[in-house]
Amino acid sequence: MIQTTFPDRAVMAELVAKMLWEIKAVHFNAETPYKYASGIASPVYIDCRKLLSYPRIRSTVMDFAASILMRDAGFEQFDCIAGGETAGIPFAALLADRLGLPMIYVRKQPKGHGRNAQIEGEMPAGARVLVIEDLTTAGGSMFKFIDAIRAAGGVVEHGIALFYYGIFAEAEERFAAGEVKFHHIATWRDVLAVAKAQKLFDDKTLSEVEAFLNRPLEWSSAHGGISTL
């Protein structure tokens, strides 16, 4: 199934934000902050894996991802879709089906036994590969997968995340330096806008969330997390 409609970008972002709220994938805890893989301490956490459990929602999100890619990257720019271990794998399969493309997945490290493979599936040398993750904070984990694909002879010029934090300047610098065009559907600002419009957070919670989004590394440092990326 290949997606051929192109909704307004702002509408797609708002709808994905509403979906995340609807399925209770947005979590807040300023008293005991969440710790990300990067070491950042945060009062907010998005669980995009929950999207998989809702067929109508996951289908719509894949439609949006396909729309963004064809609009911003092109119609014939990829030879296969790669999902990063673990959350990116099911979304890679769904998107590959949407776009009528082969799919591979990439481990964080080589398997350690058997063929000691890090990339599973068929990836010919020179294949143009799109890397997908469920969410991206500062881009570090995505580049682990991108680097592995490039080392194996693949060409990676584009990456996509369903949800992008959109609050770290370091992320934009990393993608620019790595020569990867980054695509996404929704950000924390979109989620916060829905929260304000529907009064899903009380004023104190909104204030704490905005404090983190405006100065994430300062907030992280003050709450036991890292202060630099």
**pLDDT tens string 124-182:** 999 999 999 999 998 999 999 999 999 999 999 999 999 999 999 889 999 999 999 99
Residue 19 has pLDDT above 90, yes or no: yes
The answer to whether residue 55 sits within a structural domain is yes
pTM of the model: 0.93
Q: How confident is the model at residue 56 (pLDDT cuts 50, 70, 90)?
A: very high
The answer to whether residue 28 sits within a structural domain is yes
CATH of the domain at 173: 3.40.50.2020
What span, in angstroms and rounded, lies between the C-alpha atoms of 92 and 96? 6
Domain that holds residue 210: 9-222
Residue 113 has pLDDT above 80, yes or no: no
What span, in angstroms and rounded, lies between the C-alpha atoms of 163 and 46? 9
The answer to whether residue 3 sits within a structural domain is no
What span, in angstroms and rounded, lies between the C-alpha atoms of 140 and 88? 14
The answer to whether residue 148 sits within a structural domain is yes
The answer to whether residue 209 sits within a structural domain is yes
Beta carbons within 8 Å of 65's beta carbon, 6+ residues apart:
95, 98, 132, 160, 162, 183, 185
Q: How many residues appear in the chain?
A: 229
The answer to whether residue 2 sits within a structural domain is no
- Return mean pLDDT, the chain: 93
Number of compact structural domains in the chain: 1
